[in-house]
Amino acid sequence: MSVYIGCELEVEAKRRIIRARNGEEKQTFEQVVAKCKERREKLEEMSLVKSARFDLILKSNKDFNFVIEKDVFNIVESEEMNKDCEFSIKVIKQASVLLVNDFETIDKGDSGDVVTSIEINIEKYIIKKVKESYPNFDIISEEFSPDVKLSKNCVIINGIDGSVNVSKMMPIFATQMAIIRDGICTAAVAYLPFLNELYFADESTAYLNGKKTSVKNCPIEKGLVAATGTERIKRILGMEKYGLILRDYGSIAVAFAWVASGKLNGAVYNGNKIWNFYPVLKICERAGAKIVDKKGVHIAASGDEFLKILNTKVK
């Protein structure tokens, strides 16, 4: 995905003075504007002539918020899209600008789990936007409010699902969130930025990059499924007898999203962290998947046979 971020000439000049780089604090405002203009002309010669190639073009405001000026998916502000979906897509795409190569990885105990500075920054940004637009909603966030309980009006946020993958510079991960209004999930979004896949679901339908998506079933012997969570190794071993091709992608969101688009025939997650499974499970459900959603076991499958196998108790 290629992203371009631009801002007004005077805004850029004021920022450079505030940051006081390269001696700008000793120059007049007009001098800094002239310097910015010179830099911008060079940029236009090198890059902006190729602007048609950018997937996402953002305009940066003085307060560092972003306005989307171009979106290759062309699904924001659709007349058919409810406001919760529109908000979720917009804020997740804006947050994706925070995906940078220079980041810090922090160990979360001895289990091999990690968190990166990327996801901390993404969650901070999304939380800020949610508080502005949904001030009376509870917020469940993996890194900042994991103990908040599911309620009739709440927002569920997972800045990065697939943290270890990100820490190893692997592109298989997703940002996901869901909005629950009056007890109904009105928006569920999972964004796989480096794979150019944006999944979302409203109250009834699932979409991939703006087009309706649905599960795809097939005979068991041709099936492909994924297992994630605490019991994934046991599950993989237990399912081998069925001849299934098995995967563990290191991201619950990616595995379930791929069920919704027919790439996989099923996915199972053993665990209870709601930010890991809730948004993508809703997307799968509205893509026509067979669902199991109970304590410790969350499954989406393309058909009853796959559901039965994935729901078999592990020994």
Dihedral pair phi/psi, residue 79, rounded to 5°: -65, -25
Alpha-carbon dihedral angle through residues 82, 84, 89, 90, given to the nearest 10 degrees: 100
**56 close to 4: Cβ distance less than 8 angstroms:** yes
Domain spanning 83-212, CATH class: alpha beta
Domain residue ranges in the chain: 3-71, 83-212, 220-310
Return contacts of 125-131, CB within 8 angstroms, 24+ apart. 125/91, 125/94, 125/95, 125/98, 126/91, 126/92, 126/95, 126/157, 126/159, 126/177, 127/157, 129/87, 129/91, 129/94, 130/91, 130/155, 130/157
Dihedral pair phi/psi, residue 308, rounded to 5°: -60, -45
CA angle at residue 30 from 24 to 35, to 5 degrees?
60
Alpha-carbon gap, residue 163 to 167, rounded angstroms: 6
From first to last of the 315 residues of the chain, give the pLDDT tens digit.
566 666 777 777 776 766 665 555 567 778 777 887 777 676 665 554 455 556 667 777 766 666 766 666 555 555 578 999 999 999 998 888 788 777 788 877 656 678 888 889 999 999 999 999 999 999 999 999 999 999 999 999 999 999 888 888 888 999 999 999 999 999 999 999 888 899 999 999 999 998 999 999 999 888 899 988 777 777 777 777 776 788 889 999 999 999 999 999 999 999 999 999 999 999 999 999 999 999 999 999 999 999 998 888 766
Residue (of 296, 263, 290, 262) closest to 277 by Cα position: 296
**180 close to 152: Cβ distance less than 8 angstroms:** yes
**86 close to 129: Cβ distance less than 8 angstroms:** no
* Predicted TM-score (pTM) of this structure: 0.77
CA 208 and chain centroid, separation = 13
Using alpha carbons, list the distances in angstroms from residue 260 to 200, 263, 277, 280, 308.
10, 8, 13, 8, 18
Query: Domain 220-310, what fold?
Result: D-Maltodextrin-Binding Protein; domain 2 (3.40.190)
**154 close to 180: Cβ distance less than 8 angstroms:** yes
294's tokens: 């109970």
pLDDT in tens, 150-165: 999 999 999 999 988 8
